[in-house]
Chains A and B, each alone.
Chain A
Amino acid sequence: MSDQWHLRESYTFDRNVIAEIQRAANTGIYRIRGWGAKRELPTLDDLVVLGASMSRYPLEGYREACGTDVVIGEGRAAKPVRLDIPVTIAGMSFGSLSAQAKEALGRGANAAGTSTTTGDGGMTPEERGHSRTLVYQYLPSRYGMNPDDLRKADAIEVVVGQGAKPGGGGMLLGQKINERVARMRTLPEGIDQRSACRHPDWTGPDDLEIKIIELREITDWQVPIYVKVGAARPYYDTALAVKAGADAVVVDGMQGGTAATQDVFIEHVGIPTIAAIPEATRALRELGVHRGEVKLIAAGGIRSGADVAKAMALGADAVSIGTAALIAIGDNDPVYDAEYRALGSAAGAWDDFQAGTDPAGITTQDPELASRLDPEIAGRRLANYLQVLTLEAQTIARACGKSHLHNLEPEDLAALTVPAAAMAKVPLAGTSWIPGMEHTAG
Chain B
Amino acid sequence: MTDVTTFDLADRTVRELNQALHDATSGAFRVTSPRGAHAVAAGIDAAIDVEIDGSVGYYCAGMHQQGTVRIDGNASTGLAENMMSGTVRITGSATMSAGATGHGGLLVVEGNAGARCGISMKGLDIVVGGDVGHMSAFMAQAGNLVVLGDAADDLGDSIYEAELYVRGSVASLGTDCVEKPVEAEHLATLTDLLERSGLDADPADFRRYGSARRLYNFHVDDIAAELAEGGATGIAAELAEGGATGNGAA
Q: Which residues of A contact B (CB under 8 A)?
A: 25-30, 141-142, 145-148, 150, 173-174, 185-188, 190-192, 196, 200-202, 207, 210-211, 213-214, 217-221
Contacts and interface: CB of A to CB of B under 8 A. Distances in A.
A200 B217 contact: no
A27 B77 contact: no
Contact of A213 (B39, B77, B142, B216): B39
Contacts of B222: 26-27
Interface centre among B65, B141, B161 (most CB of A within 10 A): B141
B18 interface: yes
Given A29-B247, A200-B120, A201-B59, A174 B217 contact: yes
B57 interface: yes
A370 B38 CA distance: 45
Given A201-B78, A217-B43, 12 more contacts: A25-B223, A26-B224, A28-B221, A28-B235, A29-B218, A150-B63, A192-B217, A200-B138, A213-B38, A214-B62, A214-B78, A220-B22
A30 B100 contact: no
Interface in B107-124: 116, 119-120, 122-123
A26 B82 CA distance: 42
A146 B59 contact: no
A218 B38 CA distance: 12
A30 B119 CA distance: 28
B216 A211 contact: no
* Interface of chain A, main secondary structure: loop
7 smallest A-B Cβ distances: which pairs?
A218-B43, A201-B78, A142-B101, A201-B97, A147-B63, A191-B216, A214-B59
Contacts of A150: 63
Contacts of A29: 218-221, 247, 249
| Interface size range on B against A | 35 or more
Interface of B: 14-15, 18-19, 22, 38-39, 42-43, 45, 57-59, 62-63, 65, 77-78, 81-82, 84, 96-97, 100-101, 103, 116, 119-120, 122-123, 138-139, 141-142, 160-161, 216-224, 235, 247, 249
B77 A186 contact: no
A143 B159 CA distance: 15
A315 to B, nearest CB: 32
Given A141-B120, A200-B100, A201-B100, A186 B141 contact: yes
A250 to B, nearest CB: 22
Interface centre among A145, A218, A220 (most CB of B within 10 A): A218
B39 A217 contact: yes
B82 A146 contact: yes
A201 B42 contact: no
Given A30-B249, A214-B39, A186 B219 contact: no
A146 B84 contact: yes
Given A142-B101, A201-B101, A220-B19, A188 B77 contact: no
B58 A186 contact: no
A143 to B, nearest CB: 8
A147 B101 contact: no
Contacts of A142: 82, 100-101, 120, 122
A207 B43 contact: no
A27 B235 CA distance: 10
A196 B139 contact: yes
Contacts of A221: 15
21 contacts: A25-B223, A27-B220, A141-B120, A147-B45, A147-B82, A186-B123, A192-B218, A200-B81, A200-B97, A200-B116, A201-B81, A201-B116, A207-B77, A210-B38, A211-B78, A213-B39, A214-B62, A217-B42, A217-B43, A219-B43, A220-B43
